[in-house]
Amino acid sequence: MAHYLLSVHSVAGEIREPMTDDEMKESFKQIGKLEAEMKSSDSLVLSGRLHEPDTATVVRISNGEVITTDGPFAESKEHLGGFYIIEAENLDAALAWATKVSKTIKRPIEVWPFVDVRS
């Protein structure tokens, strides 16, 4: 078994068709169903949805001093919007979950393997 990060990328300023309340409800229902499926198969380690990148703060050490700055580390059009950390047998199993997530939330999903700390 291995761990994978399924990251959901959002594009800043991208205009998406606004969802109606019913569509919103349906979307949450589908996401809930998918996450229940991940949990029942012991595949879900952790999941989360992030606030917009302008709520992020960067901390770095410079000449022994702590420098705190506003904003995400990298200024880019695309940013991390949310993630799942899953446990899967191999990449094909992880890609199968990524396919389901992508179909449900209608966004591309990036699949990153974690380094196995035991090796």
Minimum CB separation of residue 115 from another protein in Å reads 8
In whole angstroms, the minimum distance from the beta carbon of 95 to another protein comes to 7
- Can you give the binding site for another protein, defined by CB under 8 A? 2, 89-92, 95, 111, 113, 115-116, 118-119
Q: How far is the CB of 61 from another protein (least distance, A)?
A: 29
What are the C-alpha distances in Å from 20 to residues 17, 25, 27, 79?
9, 9, 10, 25
Q: Which is nearer to another protein, 26 or 42 (CB)?
A: 42
Which one, 3 or 79, has the nearer CB to another protein? 3
Strands, E assignment, 29-77:
44-49, 57-62, 65-70
- With respect to another protein, which residue has the nearer C-beta, 38 or 87? 87
Residue number with CB closer to another protein (59 or 115): 115
What is the chain's Cα-based Rg? 17
Query: Among the residues of the chain, which ranges form H helices?
Result: 21-40, 91-105
CA 112 to chain CA mean position, Å: 11
Minimum separation from the CB atom of position 52 to another protein (A): 30
List % helix, strand, coil for the chain (3-state, nearest 5).
30, 35, 30
